[in-house]
């Protein structure tokens, strides 16, 4: 017999409450109850990162996070990154500019991890960025374009010149 619990949380800036089966994952809650289809069902065991969302500012694989644990939390999905007029955020635009999107299945989860990285306000090395992004499986890219998009946005947000950018523009 299924048990249900009332879950109150803030999803993409909106206060919500819904009854959930205590066995349901956060992925199921977001997709089925709120039609947030950017949260992808990939491996469903926390290995691929396609379902990554921000919970109180920290990235989690929502497939292994029970929906009842979201009670009282602030949840952000890819949909939260769009501007008020539907414009892309700086990291989304960087993914477009750097051709970091192939089929798009893994992209929402990678973008949420990138958002956590960027919102830290820290300057990371390439090695650190690779490690921070390593929780995502992408079968379409070599990850270089993703790394370049995150790095470019990180430097822009920190108001720093992108290493090598001066040399590249001097050659052009």
pLDDT for 166 equals: 56
Q: Are 149 and 115 in contact (CB under 8 A)?
A: no
Question: What would the pLDDT profile of 104-123 be if each residue is shown by its tens digit?
Answer: 899 999 999 999 999 999 99
Q: Where are the beta strands (DSSP E) in the chain?
A: 4-11, 14-21, 52-55, 58-61, 74-76
Task: Determine if the pTM surpasses 0.85.
Answer: yes
**Which residues does the chain have with pLDDT short of 50?**
168-172
pLDDT for 2 equals: 73
CA angle 82, 35, 93 (to 5 degrees): 20
pLDDT for 103 equals: 87
Q: Are 40 and 105 in contact (CB under 8 A)?
A: yes
Distance CA 80, CA 94 (A): 17
Distance CA 164, CA 172 (A): 13
Beta bridge pairs of residue 66: 25
pLDDT for 1 equals: 61
DSSP 37-79: TTS--SSSSSSS-TTEEEETTEEEEGGGSBGGGGTT-EEE-GG
pLDDT for 170 equals: 46
Decide the pairing of beta strands 4-11 and 74-76: parallel
Name the one residue in this structure whose structure tokens are 């430097």: 155
């Amino acid at each position: 017999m299924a048990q249900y619990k009332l879950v109150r949380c803030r999803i993409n800036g909106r206060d919500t409450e819904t009854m959930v089966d205590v066995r349901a994952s956060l992925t199921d809650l977001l997709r089925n109850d709120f039609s947030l289809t950017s949260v992808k069902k990939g491996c469903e065991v926390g290995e691929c990162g396609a379902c990554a969302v921000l919970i109180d500012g920290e990235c989690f694989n929502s497939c292994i996070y029970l929906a009842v644990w979201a009670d009282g939390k602030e949840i952000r999905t890819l949909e939260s990154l769009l501007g008020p007029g539907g414009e892309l955020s700086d990291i989304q635009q960087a993914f477009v500019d750097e051709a970091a999107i192939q089929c798009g299945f893994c992209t929402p989860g990678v973008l949420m991890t990138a958002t956590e990285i960027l919102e830290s306000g820290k300057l990371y090395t390439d090695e650190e960025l690779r490690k921070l992004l390593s929780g995502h499986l992408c079968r379409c890219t070599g990850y270089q374009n993703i790394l370049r998009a995150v790095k470019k946005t990180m430097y822009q947000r920190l108001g720093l010149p992108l290493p090598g950018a001066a040399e590249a523009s001097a050659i052009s």
